[in-house]
Amino acid sequence: MNHSNQINRCRAWNCTKQNLKEHRETVNAFGTATKSVLRAIVILSDEIPDHRIADPAPRMIAAEIYRGSSYGPKHPLAIPRVSLVVDMVHALGWVDEGTYLTGPVATPDQLARFHDLDYIAAVMQAERDQSLPVEMMERFGLGKNGNPIYPEIFRRPATAAGSSVMAANLIKDGGIIHHPAGGTHHGLKDRASGFCYFNDPVLGIYALLDSGLDRVLYVDIDAHHGDGVQYAFAEDERVLTVSMHQEDLWPKTGAIDDIAGGMARNLPVPGGMHDDEMRYVLFEYLIPLGLSFAPQAIVLQCGCDTLAEDPLSRQLLGNQSIWEVVGTMTRLAPRSLVLGGGGYSPYGVARCWSGVWATINGIEIPDVLPITAENILRVIKWSHSRGRQPASELFTTLADPWRGGAIRDEVRDRVKRLRGYGV
């Protein structure tokens, strides 16, 4: 690591401290972000050091395998997700043949950089036979506990894994990749877990490390703890993993005092988190931590199951605060891999991750969607009760209204406590 670069980043951060202090004092005084605070944040964002590399332009990696693939009719992942994002950004004219790339299926050798060979073979066998002996299902977590055996059980997660490896190779000299099918952060070395069969964030981080990097920051803002990534790098001083998650959700790991082997930071937050609290965490914790760690690359898992309309969490975020995290954190390193993750409202996923792509490209979000994009959202079929009468704004707009509120004492206290662990 070039320590002079780290010193320069710390000096740049010192130049913004007064602005951040003013932001804190205003929020502390009023408990919520007023219009004056919103203006102050825009100014502060411009003053945060920008380590992005302008050339090449950001690129998106996806694949057609996600179109029509389903975990089963009653599973939370019965819904379309990545295909909606792909269709939306094309309909909006935000990608072209130079910025939209097709992801490959990872080879068994690539998967074996993290996963056990016996487990890889079991997933391949499950796709081939569409069944497994009971003892193999028990051993590998396949066909059980929300990890069904479905037609693309190997190819679909292997494509997400291959895309993360591809992305890491593409940004080894700098750049930003958006990989919305990525973010399968629960996958374990030897078994499926939490809807995740292969852990593409881990494989992407290993590819970055294998390219010669030695300071990678992983930030996870999914509603669920990024357990699989933390376990993979618990003892690796080259990777700092940070997870902000709802405190009472599965897998119920990631307590605030869990720092693994020293390279993990966890911020469990109560249900009901809103945009002002997300902004508070960003400016009070994530930015200072990122600037202190001075990463050569950032891997950002931006699951959107924290949105108010998502059925699997009790958080109350709008998509603008997620975009703010993405737009800010990707400034802190010359290389960024922006992943998807959880998200179980098809409207929420399509709108949020399309906006993520706009954010990393500096594209202005339209107030009203063109009819081509609106129609993509209108034809979604979602059998969940929340899909029966969707609000009209979910069809006609991309940005949610800012969903603010008072910053609760438990959020302040936990951020303060976590800051005590340092880098």
Active site residues: 186
Distance from the Cα of residue 181 to its chain's centroid: 10
Q: What does the alpha-carbon distance between residue 46 and residue 413 come to, in Å, rounded to a whole number?
A: 28
Q: What does the alpha-carbon distance between residue 50 and residue 311 come to, in Å, rounded to a whole number?
A: 36
Residue from 42, 61, 52, 57 nearest 363 by CA = 57
CA 198, 231, 270, 45 torsion: positive or negative? negative
> Would you give the end-to-end CA distance of the chain in angstroms?
15
Question: Residue 124, exposed/middle/buried by CB under 10 A (0-12, 13-18, 19+)?
Answer: middle
Q: For residue 6, how many other CB atoms are within 10 A of its CB? A: 16
What totals of helices (H) and strands (E) does the chain contain, helices first? 16, 8
Strand runs labelled E in 63-127: 100-102
Contact 273, 306 (CB under 8 A): yes
CA dist list (Å): 47 to 36, 41, 289, 321: 17, 10, 16, 19
Residue 52 identity (one-letter amino acid): R
Backbone angle region of 422, left / alpha / beta, with phi > 0 → left and psi within -120 to 50 → alpha: left
Q: What does the alpha-carbon distance between residue 70 and residue 150 come to, in Å, rounded to a whole number?
A: 7
Cα three-residue angle 321-323-326, rounded to 5 degrees:
115
